[in-house]
Amino acid sequence: MSARACSRISCTEEAVATLTFSYVDSMAVLGPLAGTHEPHTYDLCERHARLTSPPQGWQLIRHRMVSTTDADTDRANQPE
């Protein structure tokens, strides 16, 4: 799978998260990078995903994004 770039203008970083909006619910959802690019979604790099805030009056739901570093740390902390 080829890497997708961040959707933010002038950003050339690799996307790691996908932002979607539910206009009916006034909700934004930020989660791991979707498997395919869909219309009306925004792929964001780590920096832009971290700095994203919802429109005023909206709720932002952030799903935890697990990196390989997180997975390695979790395995190391498990009792044997």
Q: Is 70 left (phi over 0), alpha (psi -120 to 50) or beta?
A: alpha
Alpha carbons 17 and 67: distance in angstroms, whole number: 11
DSSP letter at 14?
B
Predicted structure pTM score:
0.74
Do residues 45 and 8 make contact, with C-beta atoms less than 8 angstroms apart? yes
Tens-digit pLDDT profile for residues 20-62: 999 999 999 999 999 988 888 999 999 999 999 999 999 999 9
Q: Does residue 75 carry a pLDDT above 70? A: no
Q: Which amino acid, one-letter code, is at 25?
A: D
Average pLDDT over residues 6-27: 95
